[in-house]
Amino acid sequence: MGKKRVRKKGAHLLPKISRGIPTNAKIICSDNSGGKFLKVIAVVGYKGRLNRIPSAGVGSMVVVSVVKGTPEMRRQIVRAIVVRQRKPYRRADGRWIQFEDNAAVITNPLGDPKGSEIRGAVAKEAAERWPRLASVASMVV
């Protein structure tokens, strides 16, 4: 007899969001932690087909390198959460959402933001998934 498979609880509750930010993309850092531009290195928790380029969507946690910013932040490898993406994605109520740019917020591995404010809008999906991000956000769309 084989072992009984156990399904993860809560994994299927996340909404399906079109992934619009592939690995190696340069995105804007929209907080005041000291970074200006970030380069996506990896997507945390991504499981895909062999040789497929991992990509991230709104609310995904990514591993990034700070390309441009203050001398202390530059060339650091940090975690970040994607808060905006250019590629349109569909919400449960049927509306399609698209932002003007691709942006992320630098966080620690638990999801607590490093900066004290977030410039620009934060997607509702990211704010619901990461509550600490929603408390710092000035505008949730």
Tens digit of each residue's pLDDT (9 = 90 or more) over 23-53: 999 999 999 999 999 999 999 999 999 999 9
- Domain segments of the chain as ranges: 19-140
- Helices (H), ranges, the chain: 124-129, 131-136
Q: Is 53 exposed, middle or buried (0-12, 13-18, 19+ CB in 10 A)?
A: exposed
pLDDT above 90 for 10: no
Q: Mean pLDDT across the chain, nearest whole number?
A: 91
Q: Is the pTM of this model over 0.85?
A: yes
Does residue 95 carry a pLDDT above 70?
yes
Provide the pLDDT for residue 74.
Answer: 95
Mean pLDDT of 41-67: 96
State pLDDT tens for residues 11-31: 556 778 999 999 999 999 999
Q: Which of 2, 49, 35, 40 is nearest to 21 (CA)?
A: 40
Provide mean pLDDT across the span 110-122.
94
CATH annotation of 19-140 = 2.40.150.20
Tokens of 73: 């932040």
